[in-house]
Structures are given as C-alpha cells and as structure tokens.
Structure 1
Amino acid sequence: MDLRKTMEGFCKTYVYIVILFLVGANGRALNEVEQRKVDRFVLDSMNCGRIPAINLGLVRDGQIALTKGYGTADARDRIRTTDSTVFCLASLTEAFTALTLGKLLSRNDSYSWDTPVKEFLGEDFRLGNKYITNHVTLRDLVSHRTGLAGGDGIILTKGMGQSELKNRLFFMESHTGFRAKQTESKILFTLVQAALEAIGGKPWDLLVKEHLLNPIGMTLTKFLHEAEPSYRKFAVPMIKVNGNLTHVPWDAVNSINLAGSAGSLCSTAYDMSKWIDFLLKDGKNLRGHTVVRKDILAELFEPVTILDKSNDVRSDDFNQPGTTVSYSENRAGLGWTLGSYRGYKTVSKRGSWLGYESQLTMIPSRRVGVFTSFTGQTGNKADAIKSLISVYALDILLDGEPWVDVPRVCSTVDEMVNAMPKPRSSYRRTYLRTDISPHRPLQSYAGSYGNGLYGRLEISVSNDTRNALNLDYGEQGMYRLFPTQKLDEFYLDAKTGPLWFTTRADEYIRWGPILVSFNSTKQEREAERAQRKENEPQAEDGGSEEESEESEDNEDDEEDEDRISGIAIPSFDRTLTPIFRRDFVLKQAFKDVQESHYEECSGASAVTIPFLVLALTACLNFISHRL
C-alpha cells in the first residue's frame, strides 16, 4: 500500500514536471534568436567590465525561460561557470530574512510588523535615543528607516561579536530623521535577526531553510558559514588591483557573518530562478504548493519609505544621453526596492560585497523577472552593468525591442558611470609616500583609543617599518600609518592579511588617499576658544575682552604640553567619521549619551510628521512653565 502511494506521488510529480517542460517549450523559454541576443549582450558587458564570471536567470509567464553561466568561475582550476555555480548575494539576503519573518508573524496573533522591537528583545534593549528605543519596529528596521548610521568597519574587521555589538548599538548616531528616509545599516539588521530567532525559536538560517529554501527547492543555496573556502561550486570572488583581477580572501568575505541575515546567503542562477518564479506565482513553488500566502508577500512589496539616492542615476530615471525609456528606483519596501521600468512597477534588490555583485529585478504585473550576479567588477561600473543586463533582459522577456543595442553597450556603461559621483582626485596608490618624517615623535601617538560604537583600537610604533605606526582593530583590522606632510595626518595602509586589498583595490583608492587624522589637546583648546569668541557678545566698554584675555592667560599657564587626544578614521564608515579618544571611558560615555540624547523631548526631531506638532507643543509648554 505504501509503495503504491509512493508510486502514485512520483507519477503525479513526474507528469507535472513534464507538463511544465512542454508548456515552457511552447513559448515560455527563450527562442533561438532571443537567446543569441542575450548571449551577445552579456558577453559584451563582460568585456566592457573585464568580468570573469556571470550567472543569469530569466523567468517569463511563470516559467523559467533561461538559466546560464558565462565565463570562468575559477581561473586557477579552469572551472567554467554554469547555472549551478554559487555566487554570494550580499543584500539580496534581506529579502529572504524579511519573508521568513513575515511568514512567522502571520502565525502569531500577538505580534506584527509594527510591534515595537523591545517587545521581542526585552527591556535591556536600548538605543541612544529614548524615543527611537521605545517606538522602533520591525518595519522600521527591515526598511532601514531608523535614521541611525555607523558601524560599517565593525563588520569588515570583525571588530566584535554579536553579543557585544548588541550593547554598543546604543552609541549609533542619527544620520537622518527617524522614519524620514532609508539609511542602510547592516549592523542594525542584527536586531531583525534577533527578533526572528525570538519568534521562531531557532537560529535564523535554519528558519530560512525550513520556511523558504527547502519548500521552494533551492537545494544549491548556501550560507557563507556553511561553505568551506575550497568549496568548488563557488565562483571565486575577484576584485581589481592596479587593473589586474585579484582574489579576495575568504576570511574577508566571511566577515559578513556578523550581520549574516543582511548578507550571507549565496545561490545559483538555477535556484534564484526558482525564487523569482515562486515570487511571481504569489508564493507557490514549482509543484504548485503554497509556501507563503499571497497577502504576506504583497505586504513586502508595499512602499514604506523613500530612498536616499540623490547621486544615483536611477533615483530620477536615467538621465544620460541616449536613454529613451524610464527606469527608476525611489522607494523601499520590506527587504525590497520599488520603482518602475517602462511604466511598469518593479520590485528589485541589489547586492554588493567584496568581489560579488548581484541584482534581481521583477515586473510582477507582467510576470517576468531577471537575476544576474558576477565577480571582478565593483562600484559605479558594476552598478551600471547590473542595471543594463537587467533592463536588456526585461525587454527581451516583454517581447519588445531593447532600447540599447549591443554595439552601444560599452558607451552606455560609460555614460551611466559619468552620471554618477566622480572621484575627488586622480590619486593612485603610487602616490603613497613612506619617506616622510613625522612631525612629532611616533611614541607620542602610541596608546589605546576608545569609541562607544566601535570599542577599542591600539596604536603602536612599528618595529619593522621605518617612520610608521601600527593600527590594530578587531580580529582582521591590521594597518600601518605613514605620516603625510600635514601635521598629525597619516596614510592608512593595510598590512598583509585578510584585508590587504582594502587600501589597494582600484575602486577604493580612486576616491583619493585613505587618511586618518589625530587630534591634539592644543587643537581642541583652540577650537573651544574660537567657539567661545563666536558665542560671546561684543562688550561696548571692552570689559568682556579683558576678561577673555585674562581667561586665555590662565589657560596658557595650564598648558604644559600638547598631547595627542584622539584619532579620526573616515574610511571606517560610509556616512559618519568614527572618532576614537584616548580618555574614553565606557561608563562615562553611556552617561554622556543619556544626558544629551536620552530625554523624551529630544526625540521630537525624530518623530514622524503626524506627531511632530504635538511633540513640539509639549516641549514649548514645558519651557513656558519653567519660565
């Protein structure tokens, strides 16, 4: 009896697959002409960007139209790229995390996307602003609309573990207003991961497997912490150094595991085509079984906030010459980016992480979708190539004529790059000088420096390199500092190790020299005096000037020495410059943040518009009563 049922199930599945294949062959898969066009466009794009390996997956009318690999996944072992070659997805991971969370929330009557996060994480959960602490929700975190920023360098350097990071999130600073617009933060996504695990009762990756990957049939999809460095199905991550393709160390790539739910998933063109098909079929897998309800998916595709993309050509449609179609990305959903192409609503997501680039774009109303991933190109040029491949493939799937033809691929890529932000200088690594003598004894810079969010770093005098300091932060952050001709300014140069390429890769250094600056007590005193003079009213009888001069004389008497007090490292963060101080004390830092930011009224600037007037009125009433 059991054997008969097993055979019946097998036969039904087999017949269903055959039907899918026949239907797909009848107009769903790319025809020969379409595939030749796509092949030529992809190959020309690879040539323009000197890209060694690309994966491509196309879905049309609810069927997989094409899955294919191009180029060489591993040049050392001469392994060709196929549709089963694994590429890391970076931020595309967020969509899987968000949908798993949405599915679990739908089964729980006590929680929703708008439940305050502290209900999941407990009363010990604190951010630096009391209002945000009490009101931030899962919807805010997944759409990146908290306004908080900072901490990029913690991930790359493996600066600390998740438990310590959770406590140090208290020191994250506001970059924009709360719920004003999207401000991406991977380290804040660790709170999404913690909430998911609190609801599901298991590690987040097991929940994603159980609720999505396994039922969809994404058997080739892996998490980075599962993959061995020698895993032969992976495309080797590559980056350009002095124009030459160079391998990115696996230890560097694996650092994203600190915020794994925001970036540690890796997949193939074949599996990602299943994912697109599942999304376009409103949550049904290839066998027609419902994995996720349609309404749960729909909520992820609804706009939550606007994007902060003032320097992106897609924020206000393409604006370079020769573009004849509309294409924009200007709103954020839950784990997704929303926009339009040729007047159709698009749902998309892009990812970028240390040698891996990826993009998924869908037009749900036309039931078409494109996934592409590659290695070897980064930055603005990678963004341009990902976008062009996606829209070219969409045009093919829409049975239309692509607006960009193959002979114009390279020129169109260049036009798009020229419309993006330009480097500040023509700096190249050869400009790094190691023969400049320091302005102070190197020992005067040595010591331990602290920062509320980042923790501690150590500065020491190098024993093996003349006129150099060592900067050590976290497990992987090992750098040398070479003095420039400016007082207390140093070049930052990564040592041999997992992050050696971070100060050498073409994309990183094209923006100018990577510098750090030390602050001194003298500079701080001068800044304080200038601030006082600016704030003090001019006295008619000159009395205040005499008092000011007397005050400065007293300060001069106290100034026995000019000491190094801190160090600023802009390259550690995309939005804010972390400043590490010698006199940093964690307990005092907590107190300072509480006094300056942890009052309810101080959250008024972060409140959404409907509550802004009420909060402002309350503060004014409070002040008037005090007066």
Structure 2
Amino acid sequence: MSEKISVHQLCFTILTLLSLCAWECSALTDEELEALDEFVDAAMTCKNVPGLTLSMVKDGQTVVAKGYGVSDMDKGTPVTEHTLFNMASLSKSFTASLMAKIFSKHQDISWSTPYNEYISDIAINHGDDYRNTQTTMYDLLSHRVCMADDALYLLLGGFVNVDRSDYVRHRQYLSEICPFRSKYSYLNTMYAVAGEIAEVLEGDTFENLIRENIYDPLGMTSSGFANLDWDDENYSESYVWMPDQYWHHFNKSTNVMIHAQVAAGGIISNAVDMAKYMNFVLSGGKDESGEQVVDESYLRETLRPQTAIHNPYIQSRPTFPVDESSYSYALGWNNVMYRGYVKYFHRGSFPAFGSRLAVYPEVNVGVFIGANGPYDGNDQAAMQRIEAFATDLLLGEEPWLNTTTACTFPEPWQPSSDGVFASFTLKNDKRNGENEKKVNKIKIHKVHTARPLDDYVGVYGHKAFGNCTIWQEDGSENLRYRYGEYGLGELIPSLQEDDVFVITMVGPMAWFLETYTGEIPLVARFGSSEGDIIDELVLLYAPGMPMHVFRRGELMHGPPMPKPTVPPVEDCGSVVGHSPLMYALLAIITVVCTMWGNLVVPQND
C-alpha cells in the first residue's frame, strides 16, 4: 500500500512541477495583468475605441485572450474573447499559409514557378506578355506587380454581383502604376488572383480550402468569412467616428462586398482562435497536439523577406526609447525589427474594423489585437501602443510606454503636429454620451447646363471596374447614377464648369463620401473622345490615385437596369451632404482641383 502511495505521490509531484513550470514560463504576474488592463483602458479611452479584442501567446500557451469595451454601443454588449472581429488584411497571411500547404502537395510547381505555366487563362496586364508569363506567387503575395487597385469600387459594391472568377479575369484591365517588380506597391487585387489560383488547383472554393486546411486542423471553430458570416450573432458591430463628430454605425450587411477579395481581407475571427493561429505560425506549422499541419519549410518561406520597403529610418538614431523599423515585405507579412527582436507583422483595416498581428518566432511570442472603431486612424494608434506594451511584457522588457504616453505619444519625445490630445478627450465625452445617427439634408440648386441632361444619360463601362448607369427622372433638374450595389445618388451640375457634376450619395455607404474626401468634393466629369457626343465618364475620383475612364459601349457585363431610387434628401441611413454655402465652396474647389489634374481615393489597407 505504501509503495502505491509513494508512486502516486511521485507522479502527482512531477505533474505539479511540470504544470508550475509551464505556468511560470508562459503566464504574466497579477501585477502585469493589472497593468495591461489599465494600459488598454487608457489607450481605448483617449483614442476613442468602442471595443477591442486581445490575445497574447508565449511558448505555445495562450497567456491572454479577452475583450474590452463593447461590441454593440446601443445595447452595451461587452466584447469577450469569443466576439468575432474582421481581420481585414491579416487575411493575407492566411492566404499565404494556404498556398504553402498547396505547394507542399504539388511538387511540380513552387513559389517561383510562373503561374502562367499551370493556369493560362488569368492575365495580369492586358497586352503585357512579360508580366503575364513571368508573374509568380512570390510576385502576387509580396506586392511587386505594380498594378492599380480598385478599393473604392469594391467599397461601393461594384463587384457584389460579379462572379469571383470573372472578377479576377478582368483585373488585367487595371492600369500599370509602376514597372513590373520595380518597387513595393501594396495591392489587394493580386491576393484575389492568388485565391483564384488556389481554387483552380484544388477544385474548391477559397472559403472551403481555408476551413479544411487552416480552421479545422487548428481548432479555429468560431472563425469564418465576412462575406458569408456577416450576420453571425457573435460578429461585433463596428463604428466610424465621422469628421462632423458623430458615430456612424456601419451596416454589416455590406460585408458581402468583400467576396471578390476575400483572399485579401475576408477572414473574421476572435481572440481564442487567433491565439491558435499565432501558435501555428510560431511552431512552424503545427497544431496544438504537435501534429504538422503545413510543411515547416513551406510555411517559413512565407516569412522570408521578398520586397524591399523604403524606410529612411532603418539606420538612423531612434527617436523614441526603443527602435522599430520595417524593412521588407514577405508573403502576407511585414519584416520588422523591434527592440532588436525579429518581428513578423501585419495590420488590417476594413470598415470599420482595425487589426494588428505580430509574432516573434525566435522567442516564441505573439500578440493579436482587433478594434471595432473609430476607423479614423486612432484605432491603429491605440492598437500600436497596446501591441508594444503587451509585447514588452511577454519579452520580459520594461515597457517604454505608460498610461500617460499611450495618449500623448509622440510626446514627450517628439512634438505633436497639433493639439490632438484635447480633441481625443472631446471625442470620448461624445462617445459616452450618445450614439448619434446624423442625417444631413442635401440642398438642391437649380443650375442650367450648357447641354441637355439627356446628352449624359446612358451606361458607361470599364472592363475592370464594371458599369455605371446614368439617368434622369421626370421633373428632376439633376442626374441620378448607380454604380454597383451601394453607389447611388445624384449628380448636381457644377456652378462653374460645364460637363462636371458634384456627386452626392445615399444608402449604407454614404458615410464614406465625407470620411474619404473631407472638404474636397468628389466629382463626375463627362467628356467626348471625338466630336461633340458625350461618351466618356470619370466617376468618383479624388487626390492621389490614377484616373479611370468609363466609356459607352465598353462594358464589363451587360448593362444593369436602374433600381428604384431612395430620394437623396430622405435617406433613412446616414446621408452626407452640405449646405448651400458649402456647395459654392465645393464648386470653387472643384475648379482648383481640375487645374491641378487627376483626382482619386486612397487605397484600402
């Protein structure tokens, strides 16, 4: 009896010691956990973040997986470790991981094989044989193809009803923005091409391939896809803090727009599942039981530097107490140095979510963060500082940020550009007091055009961007337009220039007009390629991106019929408009911008 007891005691002692060792090697102290919570709360408060999710891993263990704030501002629903957030561009690493799995099975092809050798009906650039025959998976996933993106048209739902395979095969009609492989140029559309290649090679949908090769083996039982699972009850609401100082509650049903680029930004997940994903990457492709899910050599290749990123600060003296430099892009990951540690990182942004993911394989540490607003840059600012603080705790380093500098950064090390700290406090007061749904009434002016409005009516198309329908309703002194599922509104003749119309918008994406453009209006410009007949339209362009011309007869598909319209002055959602005085200012700005040249919209991250 005594022998059995001693053996039992010995086993119990060994198990206890092992469990204590595992705990000591991976967990944070109570004081560190309390400091973490205080830091997160401080950063969220001063940066106006409604809800946030966080997971931290070390040595194969989940150290933290929890939520902060609310997932629904109206109901006060708290964020938990199970609340789903949009991963946005963190999805790119999932696509790279999937391709690693596929290439490990197809020994006759590799990352460096021109994909034209095994899939010949997808072109990168219409008429550019070199791009079309030489582009590899390295090129697609490391952002060196150098073609224009279509983020704006995607956001307007321009491809909601376009078959994904057809969408990919029309990307060849995008314009070149720099010579092939000449530099790093972030491009969501090439991940859509990679996703289509995966579907062709494996004979299944991208979503099913991710489930079967990533989600299921890793036990990511809650994760899904924004285009398919946007109505999941665990999927957080998201919020945009508008320039006019009010919250816009983003309509999640519009997440279906991402179906065309699900391989670039369609993953949704939570803190628990993302901890499993981080451990998968850190372990070289293994699941929780130690079984190899993706061949280690192929997965490690997704982390290897591929395309240099211009960064003048890499060799400079650090401005802040610690150094951090991004120097290249791998396959779905940025290559970064933080405090002398090798860091693989990506961030994401998709209305109205933000996300960040960082792993450190040499020390087996990872941090994931997601936020559901305010989608104005402050979400990334808050998450960046939380990531640094959480990473320092896991690394055993003294955190260089505290609850004060989380808000004042870059002060005291570098002057702020303006008095932003005071405005953060104002925003926070507004957030705690109300969740306003603002409706601005659009004032319509009677402006005579140089030609009859009928001259502009018709369907204008672009082989990459789809079709835009322009029509006039009886009795209206303005034109109406529909582009995609969400691009709907009126075209109001410019006060100063013929054939130029100021764009108004209604419906679930109307908020973007104000958020993306500020005081500079979006305009529609009609033109004639020859003679006097209107046959060209430049629609929705803003400073900084190339101009795209829609033409009569150049259609991506058969022309859509106009849908019943919601009067622009009475949209039941958020309508973004301006006062009569503002319209006069907009017209003047339009002329000035026209003199400068092309106008366009910033790319989605």
Q: Equivalent residue for 2:405?
A: 408
CA contact (8 A) 1:491 1:515 kept: yes
Report deviation, 1:382: 2.8
CA separation of 1:171/1:152 partners in 2, compared to 1, >3 Å: closer, same or farther? same
1:449 and 2:460 aligned: yes
Q: Secondary structure, in 3 states, of the residue corresponding to 1:149? A: coil
Q: Secondary structure, in 3 states, of the residue corresponding to 2:399? A: coil
Aligned partner of 1:222 among 200, 220, 224 = 224
1:515 and 2:519 aligned: no
In structure 1, C-alpha distance between the alignment counterparts of 2:384 and 2:331, rounded to whole Å: 21
In structure 1, C-alpha distance between the alignment counterparts of 2:486 and 2:224, rounded to whole Å: 24
Q: Equivalent residue for 1:239?
A: 240
Aligned partner of 1:502 among 503, 512, 522 = 512
Q: Equivalent residue for 1:272?
A: 274
In structure 1, C-alpha distance between the alignment counterparts of 2:48 and 2:353, rounded to whole Å: 14
Report deviation, 1:44: 1.2
Q: Equivalent residue for 2:469?
A: 458
Segment of structure 1 superposing worse, 572-581 or 380-389? 572-581
1:93 and 2:95 aligned: no
In structure 2, C-alpha distance between the alignment counterparts of 1:104 and 1:74, rounded to whole Å: 39
Q: Equivalent residue for 2:550?
A: 580
CA contact (8 A) 2:355 2:380 kept: no
CA separation of 1:47/1:585 partners in 2, compared to 1, >3 Å: closer, same or farther? closer
1:350 and 2:352 aligned: no
| Aligned ranges 1:181-580 → 2 under 5 Å | 181-227=183-229, 229=231, 231-241=232-242, 242-307=244-309, 316=313, 323-412=320-409, 418=417, 434-435=444-445, 437-440=447-450, 441-463=452-474, 467-487=477-497, 488-496=499-507, 498-504=508-514, 507-510=515-518, 512-521=519-528, 562-571=532-541, 575-580=545-550
Report deviation, 1:416: 9.5
Q: After superposition, what is the alpha-carbon deviation per residue over 1:271-309, rounded to whole angstroms, capped at 9, x for unaligned?
A: 11111122112222222222223212211111111236x
Report deviation, 1:73: 0.9
Report deviation, 1:135: 0.7
Segment of structure 1 superposing worse, 132-141 or 61-70? 61-70
Structure 1: state its 5+ residue gaps. Answer: 1-14, 420-427, 526-558, 588-627
CA contact (8 A) 1:85 1:234 kept: yes
Q: Equivalent residue for 2:600?
A: none
Q: Equivalent residue for 1:134?
A: 133
Query: Considering only CA atoms, is the larger Rg found in Structure 1 or Structure 2?
Result: 1
CA separation of 1:448/1:328 partners in 2, compared to 1, >3 Å: closer, same or farther? same
In structure 1, C-alpha distance between the alignment counterparts of 2:15 and 2:453, rounded to whole Å: 70
In structure 2, C-alpha distance between the alignment counterparts of 1:320 and 1:482, rounded to whole Å: 52
Q: After superposition, what is the alpha-carbon deviation per residue over 1:529-567, rounded to whole angstroms, capped at 9, x for unaligned?
A: xxxxxxxxxxxxxxxxxxxxxxxxxxxxxx7xx443422
Per the normalisation by structure 1, the TM-score is 0.76
In structure 1, C-alpha distance between the alignment counterparts of 2:477 and 2:455, rounded to whole Å: 13
In structure 2, C-alpha distance between the alignment counterparts of 1:434 and 1:17, rounded to whole Å: 76
Q: After superposition, what is the alpha-carbon deviation per residue over 1:500-549, rounded to whole angstroms, capped at 9, x for unaligned?
A: 22224xx4233x3232242434xx78xxxxxxxxxxxxxxxxxxxxxxxx
Report deviation, 1:491: 2.3
In structure 2, C-alpha distance between the alignment counterparts of 1:326 and 1:147, rounded to whole Å: 30
Report deviation, 1:90: 0.8
Q: Equivalent residue for 2:80?
A: 82
CA separation of 1:149/1:16 partners in 2, compared to 1, >3 Å: closer, same or farther? farther
Q: After superposition, what is the alpha-carbon deviation per residue over 1:140-165, rounded to whole angstroms, capped at 9, x for unaligned?
A: 11112111113223422332412432
Per the normalisation by structure 2, the TM-score is 0.78
Q: Equivalent residue for 2:584?
A: none
In structure 2, C-alpha distance between the alignment counterparts of 1:417 and 1:366, rounded to whole Å: 34
CA contact (8 A) 2:88 2:348 kept: yes
In structure 2, C-alpha distance between the alignment counterparts of 1:391 and 1:50, rounded to whole Å: 19
Q: Equivalent residue for 1:539?
A: none
CA separation of 1:182/1:321 partners in 2, compared to 1, >3 Å: closer, same or farther? closer
Amino acid of the structure 2 residue aligned with 1:88: N
Amino acid of the structure 2 residue aligned with 1:494: M
Q: Secondary structure, in 3 states, of the residue corresponding to 1:275? A: helix
Q: Equivalent residue for 1:111?
A: 109
CA contact (8 A) 1:149 1:185 kept: yes
Q: Secondary structure, in 3 states, of the residue corresponding to 1:174? A: coil
In structure 2, C-alpha distance between the alignment counterparts of 1:48 and 1:362, rounded to whole Å: 27
Q: Secondary structure, in 3 states, of the residue corresponding to 1:65? A: strand
Q: Secondary structure, in 3 states, of the residue corresponding to 1:365? A: coil
Report deviation, 1:260: 1.0
In structure 1, C-alpha distance between the alignment counterparts of 2:198 and 2:61, rounded to whole Å: 31
Amino acid of the structure 2 residue aligned with 1:177: P
1:53 and 2:14 aligned: no
Q: After superposition, what is the alpha-carbon deviation per residue over 1:191-238, rounded to whole angstroms, capped at 9, x for unaligned?
A: 211211222222222221222211111111112244252x22111021
Report deviation, 1:413: 6.3
CA separation of 1:179/1:433 partners in 2, compared to 1, >3 Å: closer, same or farther? farther
In structure 2, C-alpha distance between the alignment counterparts of 1:54 and 1:82, rounded to whole Å: 9
Q: After superposition, what is the alpha-carbon deviation per residue over 1:374-414, rounded to whole angstroms, capped at 9, x for unaligned?
A: 01222433332222121121112111122222112222168
Q: Equivalent residue for 1:593?
A: none
CA separation of 1:194/1:119 partners in 2, compared to 1, >3 Å: closer, same or farther? farther
In structure 2, C-alpha distance between the alignment counterparts of 1:250 and 1:27, rounded to whole Å: 41
Amino acid of the structure 1 residue aligned with 2:321: T
Q: Secondary structure, in 3 states, of the residue corresponding to 2:189? A: coil
Q: Secondary structure, in 3 states, of the residue corresponding to 1:285? A: coil
In structure 2, C-alpha distance between the alignment counterparts of 1:508 and 1:302, rounded to whole Å: 34
CA separation of 1:571/1:49 partners in 2, compared to 1, >3 Å: closer, same or farther? farther
Segment of structure 1 superposing worse, 408-417 or 74-83? 408-417
Amino acid of the structure 1 residue aligned with 2:215: L
| Structure holding more helix per residue | 1
| Aligned ranges 1:611-622 → 2 under 5 Å | none
In structure 1, C-alpha distance between the alignment counterparts of 2:548 and 2:205, rounded to whole Å: 31
In structure 1, C-alpha distance between the alignment counterparts of 2:15 and 2:502, rounded to whole Å: 60
CA contact (8 A) 1:344 1:363 kept: yes
Q: Equivalent residue for 2:178?
A: 176
Q: Secondary structure, in 3 states, of the residue corresponding to 1:366? A: coil
Instruction: Tell me how large the CA RMSD over aligned residues is.
Output: 3.1
Q: After superposition, what is the alpha-carbon deviation per residue over 1:443-463, rounded to whole angstroms, capped at 9, x for unaligned?
A: 332222222321321112255
CA contact (8 A) 1:381 1:413 kept: no
In structure 1, C-alpha distance between the alignment counterparts of 2:446 and 2:16, rounded to whole Å: 72
CA contact (8 A) 2:86 2:353 kept: yes
Q: How many residues align?
A: 517
Q: Equivalent residue for 2:603?
A: none
In structure 2, C-alpha distance between the alignment counterparts of 1:321 and 1:337, rounded to whole Å: 20
Q: Equivalent residue for 2:429?
A: none
Segment of structure 1 superposing worse, 431-440 or 199-208? 431-440
